[in-house]
Every structure is written in C-alpha cells, then in structure tokens.
Structure 1
Amino acid sequence: MVATAANTSTIHDHGDNVVSLRDQGADEVSERLLASSARLSRNAMTEIDWDQPMDPAKYGCSPEWSSLYGTDYWDEMTEAQRVSLTRHEFASIMNIGIWFEMILQEMVIRDQYLGDYHTPEFQFALTEIADECRHSIMFAKASQKMVGKSYHPSKFVGRLGKVFMRTARAEVAYSGILVAEEILDVFQRGCMRDEQVLPFIRTVNEIHVLEESRHMKFAREEVRDSMKGVGWARRQWSAFVIAVGAAFIFTSMIRPQAYSDAGLDAKRAVAARRENEHFKSMVRSSCGHLMGFLDEVGLLTKPAARVYRKVNML
C-alpha cells in the first residue's frame, strides 16, 4: 500500500520511537514500528508493584483534568472528596478504554483475516492486538486497585459499539480507532508526569501513551491509504459516522455512576460537567492535533465539525 506524504519532516515521539513522513505506505511505517516495539515495549505486570499501598492524598488524575474542576461543586468538596472523585473518574475512563480496545481488536483482526501474512503491515497489526490485550489487563488491574469496580457504557452505546465493530471498514474503522486512542491519550498525557497523581497510575499512563503512539501512527497511515481516490459522497458519509462515533465515545468516558461512587450527587455532577468551561477548553485544546489530521485527509467536513463542536472536541 502506498500513501502520499506532502511533508518530508520527521515526527519525534518518545526518544527513538520515530517515523519519518518520508515513509511511503503502511509496510514501511509498520517495519519501523515493529522495530520500535521490539526496543521500547514495557510490561506493567512486572514494572508496577500492584501490592504497594496507595497514598490517601494522591489523586487518580491531575485535579485540572477532573471534569468538575473549576465548578462551584468542586469548590464545595473536601480534599478527600476531590481525591475520591478523580480516582473514580479515571477508573471510568480506563474501563471505557477497555471497552473500545476490545472493539478495536475485533476490527483489526477482521481487516487482517486474509491479509498478506509475510508483510510488516500484517505483523504490526498483530503486535498492536497483543499490545491492546496487555493494556486492557493493565487498565483492569489499575481499576481494581484504585476503586475495586468496573464501569461500562450505557446499554444503548454498548449495542452501537457492537454494530460499529461488525460493520466499520477502511477509513471508518481506522479513524474510529484513531479517535478513540487520541481521546484517551488526551487524558493520560495531562496526568502522567503530575506528582499529585498516584505513582502507579502515572506509570500506567506512561506505558499507554508510549505504546499507543505507535498504534496511532499505524492508524493514520491506514486512513491515508483508505482515503486515496475516495469520492465526495463516501467521504461525507464516512466523516459523519466517525464524528458520531467519536461523540458517543467521548461522552461515555466518565460514567454518572462514577460520581455516585465518589459520594456525589450524580445528577448535579453531570449538569456541572456539562456547563464546565474549563473542562471544555482543556478538551478542545488537546484535540487540536486530531482535528488537524482529520482535516488533512478530508474527514473534517462541515456536518462532522458540527458534531465535534457539540461535544467540545473542536
């Protein structure tokens, strides 16, 4: 597969995890990513001491990344309530991450089912699936340790997810993968070096951000390849479906039950989050790179942009 690359600069991400924009297609990118994976992959099962007691003063995510930070409700909380809130919020985010990683795995396996097994593209696709399995276990253990429970999307969104993973193809599938990974990446980059956050959660974030950077490069290359020669009607439809999927994923990240489990009034918390200009601003600024890519490949159409603006991703 061959993808165009108008820019000949180089993207540097996490040391030697580098993919040049001179690369010509999924196989060339995948070969570099396979080498990067062999050098840089990490194992949370051995790297994290899962039995280490948690400091009661440490947050689950940076306070500034709490969905209620900057609201009157936040100002009313005790410090202990704020810590509990961020732990339940981030557990919810990780659990929704597990849900989408399971969708991702099925889509990638289906896409590569009768692929060219000898190619780097196929081999990195399987590497990505293996990474996602490890990430899901890591998130599950982190959630177990931090709050001792699981969160799931609503039944309606869960059913939509099943439809998406069984029907999405080409640019819709890989853009959906990219959007979900970028959304989770936004939250984790904001928290992974904050010493206010639990040390094992910072390590979880570091591992996931590092390894997902490879997955996002792979997805971007697959999207570029899929968009070659795509006509106006298909581009419009694909862009809209991707945007609607992104909206459902993003709005599902922090479940109302997480607020209840943190001892808050869930209805009031959801209303406060909906009106929280600080949180909206944090999300918009962090999604800039994703929106730039979608625009580059022709998937940020006017109808799609309206959807992204409605959920404050644009």
Structure 2
Amino acid sequence: MEALRDVTRSDDGIDEVSQRLLASAARLSRNALTEIDWDAPLDPDKYGCSPEWSTLYGTAYWDEMTEQQRISLTRHETASIMSIGIWFEMMLQEMVIRDQYLGDYHRPEFQFALTEVADECRHSLMFAKTSHKLTGTSYTPHPRLGRFGKLFMRVAGSEVAYAGILAAEEVLDVLQRGCMRDDRVLPLVRTVNEIHVLEESRHMRFAREEVRQSMQEANWARRQLSSVITAMAVSYILVSLVRPKAYADAGLDHRRAVGEMRRNHHFQSMVRSGCAHLMGFLDDVGLLTRPAARIYRKVHML
C-alpha cells in the first residue's frame, strides 16, 4: 500500500477531513462492551433483523415457516452477517495498519487511521458477543474465500484497499440501517446496529477521501485493474454474508434455502436499491468500469 503515499495528492485535504473525524470520534464514540447489558434475556418474540431484510422473505419457503421459525432464521442470518463482518473488519485493520506503517505520526491522517483500527477492534468484539448471544455460535467464510482474503490483504494497495473497505462496509451499513429502528427487532441488535452505523459513517468518509486522492493520478490501465479487483472482493463478501450452515442451524433445509435465496428477487431488489449510493461514488471516481459493472450485476448490486 506504499503506492498510496507515492502519488501526488492534496495532503491538506485528507488531513482536514481526518481532523474533523477525530473531533467527531472524541465526541460521539460509544462502547458496546459497557453500554449493553449482555446478560439480559432475549425477547422470544423479537426478530434478529427486519423480516423484509431476511434473505428468504418473499419466497415460498418463507411462506411455509411458522413465526418462530422466521424469528430463528433472522437471528441466525444476523449472526452470520456479523461473523462475516468480523472477517472483513480484520482484513480492514491489517490493511490500514500496513498503510500507516512508518507514516507521519504527527498528522491527523495517521491518528484517525489508528482511531479507526481501535473502533474496528471494538466492533469485532461487539459482533462476536452478539452472534454468541443470538445463536450460541459464529460463522466463518468458506476456506477458499478465507485464502482469497489473505491474498487480497497482501496485494491490495492504494484505491483497491480503501475502495474494498468502503464497499464492504457500505453493504453492511445498508443492512443495518434497514433494521435499527424496527420495533420488531431485538433491542440488542438494534443498539449494536446503531453503534456500528454511527461509527462506520466516519470510517466510510475517510475511505472515500483516500480513494478520491489515490485515483487522481490513476491511469486507464490502473483504473481497469483496480475496478475489477475491488468488484471481485466485494462480490465474494456479499454472497458469503449468510452461510449455508446458518440456515441449517435455524432448522431449515440448507440446500433449498440457499437455492431460494439465490432466486429471491425481493432481496436482490433491496440490495440493489441500498447500493445505489455506493455505485454512484464508484462511478464518480472511475472505479465502475464495464468489466466491474458486470460483476456487480451478477450479485445484484447494480
């Protein structure tokens, strides 16, 4: 990621944004580990996410379920999404730290980057405790995807790293915003979503600025390559959010559930609508090329 420092850019711009974000973090940061009563019992009649955001909502399988099966499903879906969130937040932390290695420690950019890493550590712990509270377990990506993640962390630099961070966080943000004000959802999940959405808004603002600055000097070939790598990474994360084991743990036929999820036009429409702002940003900075757009369309983000 050293290339990020080699391009000509307005350091005043990124430092100005970072300074504002540092001030926001000082005023508004929250700590779920002390704010939430983790021993409080869960209301058996509350969902893990808004029913409309379930991957099976609108399918024949959903119509066949009892209310308790739907509640169980949404809790396992949320546990899976948060577990995959931990996975890519761990990748995020490594890439940000590597980017800031031997950086200018006095600059706001460096200081906010480390603030972001500290936030992500707390978020990962928050997600881990929530997943355990909801289901007594957690979920990991497919081993092949785990290996891809290790490779991505090694090779991702400049706009690829920050665009990948931004896009993955935007997808999670869309899902959480749809649930955090829904009274049908468990208060625990709503509070966790509220904290994450609030703090990730700073992280996404920082990532957008880093991408814009990095793309200023990107030539055509670099834009093409960066756009495709970013799209591949984001698409892999999106299709892995709800693991097949989560359906099985919820008492469903996981093969049928995965098949219906993949054909669920309602969920596809929700994702596409929620990602409109992200796609607009990627287009604006030159990362929504035709090859990248084809990848996004395959996973219904475009």
User: TM-score, with normalisation over the residues of structure 1?
Assistant: 0.93
Out of 189, 194, 205, the residue aligned to residue 182 of structure 2 is 194
Distance apart, 1:235 and its partner CA: 0.4
Question: Are 1:117 and 2:137 an aligned pair?
Answer: no
1:94 aligned partner: 82
1:205 aligned partner: 193
Distance apart, 1:274 and its partner CA: 0.8
1:267 aligned partner: 255
The superposition leaves residues 245-277 of structure 1 with CA deviations (integer Å, 9 ceiling, x where unpaired) of: 011010010000000000000000011011111
Output the CA distance in 2 between the equivalents of 1:200 and 1:172: 34
Question: Are 1:313 and 2:293 an aligned pair?
Answer: no
Output the CA distance in 2 between the equivalents of 1:70 and 1:230: 43
Moved more, 46-55 or 126-135: 46-55
Where is the helix percentage greater, Structure 1 or Structure 2? Answer: 2
Q: Tell me: higher relative CO, structure 1 or 2? Use CA pairs within 8 A at least 6 residues apart.
A: 2
Amino acid at match of 1:105: Q
2:53 aligned partner: 65
**8 Å CA contact 1:59, 1:198 repeated in 2:** yes
Out of 223, 244, 260, the residue aligned to residue 256 of structure 1 is 244
**8 Å CA contact 1:3, 1:224 repeated in 2:** no
Output the CA distance in 1 between the equivalents of 2:286 and 2:36: 41
Distance apart, 1:51 and its partner CA: 0.6
Output the CA distance in 2 between the equivalents of 1:61 and 1:229: 42
Distance apart, 1:150 and its partner CA: 1.1
1:224 aligned partner: 212
Out of 161, 184, 194, the residue aligned to residue 173 of structure 1 is 161
Output the CA distance in 2 between the equivalents of 1:201 and 1:48: 10
Output the CA distance in 2 between the equivalents of 1:282 and 1:24: 38
User: Structure 1: 5+ residue runs without aligned partners?
Assistant: 5-22
**CA distance change for structure 1 residues 3 and 285 in 2, over 3 Å: closer, same or farther?**
farther
Distance apart, 1:3 and its partner CA: 6.2
1:17 aligned partner: none
Distance apart, 1:167 and its partner CA: 1.2
Amino acid at match of 1:92: S
Output the CA distance in 2 between the equivalents of 1:246 and 1:45: 29
1:49 aligned partner: 37
Output the CA distance in 2 between the equivalents of 1:252 and 1:194: 25
User: TM-score, with normalisation over the residues of structure 2?
Assistant: 0.96
Output the CA distance in 2 between the equivalents of 1:100 and 1:167: 15
Output the CA distance in 1 between the equivalents of 2:50 and 2:273: 16
Out of 138, 141, 166, the residue aligned to residue 126 of structure 2 is 138
1:290 aligned partner: 278
Output the CA distance in 2 between the equivalents of 1:63 and 1:24: 45
Distance apart, 1:187 and its partner CA: 0.6
Matched residues, number:
296
Output the CA distance in 2 between the equivalents of 1:166 and 1:282: 33
Output the CA distance in 2 between the equivalents of 1:45 and 1:122: 26
Output the CA distance in 2 between the equivalents of 1:237 and 1:281: 28
Output the CA distance in 1 between the equivalents of 2:132 and 2:14: 37
Distance apart, 1:25 and its partner CA: 1.5
Distance apart, 1:24 and its partner CA: 5.6
**8 Å CA contact 1:30, 1:218 repeated in 2:** yes
**8 Å CA contact 1:58, 1:196 repeated in 2:** yes
Q: Secondary structure at the match of 2:211?
A: helix
**8 Å CA contact 1:3, 1:221 repeated in 2:** no
Q: Secondary structure at the match of 2:195?
A: helix
The superposition leaves residues 131-173 of structure 1 with CA deviations (integer Å, 9 ceiling, x where unpaired) of: 0000000000001111010100000000000000111000000
**8 Å CA contact 1:62, 1:191 repeated in 2:** yes
Amino acid at match of 2:181: R
**8 Å CA contact 1:60, 1:90 repeated in 2:** yes
Amino acid at match of 1:209: V
**CA distance change for structure 1 residues 272 and 163 in 2, over 3 Å: closer, same or farther?**
same
**8 Å CA contact 1:238, 1:299 repeated in 2:** yes
Amino acid at match of 2:175: F
**CA distance change for structure 1 residues 3 and 56 in 2, over 3 Å: closer, same or farther?**
farther
